[in-house]
Every structure is written in C-alpha cells, then in structure tokens.
Amino acid sequence: MTLNATTSHTVGPYYHIGLTWLNREDLTVEHTLGERVAITGQVIDGNGDVVNDAMLEVWQANAAGKYDHPEDDQDKPLDPNFEGFGRVPVDAEGRFRFTTIKPGTVQGLKGTTQAPHLVVLVFARGLVKHLLTRIYFDGEPANVADSLLECVPAERRDTLLAKKDASGVYQWNVILQGTEAETVFFDY
C-alpha cells in the first residue's frame, strides 16, 4: 500500500463556513462580574495592508483569575455568568471590537503569577495554522512580574500591550509580519 501526501491547506478562507456560528463580540452578559473593557484594533499584514477576512478567538480567565475549564483547579470562584470565550471577525477594513471584563491574575508555572491577560488566536487566509498571542493591559502593575512577558525582549513588549485611549477603550493591533512592530506570536 502506498500513502500519498494530501495537499496543504491554510486556515482560511473556508474557516468562515464552520466557525462563524460561535462569533460573539460581547463576552459578557448582564450579571458578569468584573470591570468591563472594550478592546478595538485592526489586523494588518506585513505590507501594511488590512486583512479583511481575519478572525480572533479570545480565551481568558474571569475577574477572580479562574478559567471556566475543568483543568483549572485554582481555589478561586467561578463566575456562572462568564465563559471567557469569544470569536470576533474583522470588518472590511480589518477592524475588530469586542467587550469583555478585565481578568484577574492567574497562577503560572512553578508558583509564579501571570498578569491579567487575554489569550488570542488569529485565523486568516494564508496562515498554515493559527497564530497565538496575548493581550496585556498597559500600566497593569502585575506586568512587571509576569514570567512570559519577561521572556519577550523589552523592545517588543509593546506589541502585546493594549493601551487605553481618551474614551476609555483599549487599542491593540495585530501586525502579522514584516516590520519591527510585528505582534509577538508564541510557539505552542
């Protein structure tokens, strides 16, 4: 028997067929505990052109710092009104906006503490597999001791920081490649 390799595929544009039913740009409901925050930005490619068919998948802990997942065995309360998950498509200009809560700190490896952050997966045409990154909150005191953030060269950390504008909305862009401002993506 001879096994032939199948053709290579990227994660898009066909992911819209099976994933869009989970799109949710507001991760909160009326009784979700915690500080509500809005995060907006744009997905841009290495040439500075907008990526108009990307999708962001967001995973995060609740305001107490606990994930709604069976493997999170921290002795922290679950919020029955918060799943910590959403899928956010971009519009024709590559822009996105979603509302969530600022998560609490979570336990890291070897007893360390991770600063409040959101885990973000980026899906788009041309990507062989999705990209993994994080959003941290600019000015958060716990950022100083976050062991993963410390692994990122100081000159690149800004690509992971959402910055609050004058209206109180956090701004954070995804830059896919090619410039010094490229978003930091993590291996997994």
Please indicate whether residue 130 or residue 170 has the higher confidence score (pLDDT).
170
| Better-scored residue on pLDDT, 143 or 10 | 143
- When pLDDT is averaged across residues 29-33 and rounded to a whole number, the result is 96
Confidence band of 126 (pLDDT split at 50, 70, 90): confident
pLDDT (0 to 100) of residue 180: 74
**For 59-79, how does the pLDDT look when each residue is reduced to its tens digit (9 = 90+)?**
999 999 999 999 998 999 999
Residue with tokens 């409040």: 116
pTM exceeds 0.85, yes or no: yes
**Residue 141 within a domain:** yes
Does 157 fall in a domain? yes
| Window from 5-14, 45-54, 115-124 with minimum mean pLDDT | 5-14
Please tell me the distance from the alpha carbon of residue 107 to that of residue 110, in angstroms, as a whole number. Answer: 9
Displacement of CA 121 from its chain's centroid (Å): 6
pLDDT at res. 14:
53
pLDDT level of residue 4 (50, 70, 90 thresholds): low
Q: What CATH number has the domain bearing residue 151?
A: 2.60.130.10
pLDDT band at 178 (very low <50, low <70, confident <90, very high): confident
Is there a domain that residue 185 lies in? no
Distances (CA, A) of 8 to 51, 102, 129: 21, 38, 11
Write the pLDDT tens digit of every residue in 89-109.
Answer: 999 999 999 999 999 999 888
Domain membership of residue 99 as a residue range: 23-175
Split into its structural domains, the chain has a count of: 1
Asked whether the beta carbons of 151 and 36 are under 8 A apart, the reply is no
Tell me what the pLDDT averaged over the chain comes to.
Answer: 89
Whether the CA torsion 26, 84, 137, 130 is positive or negative: it is negative
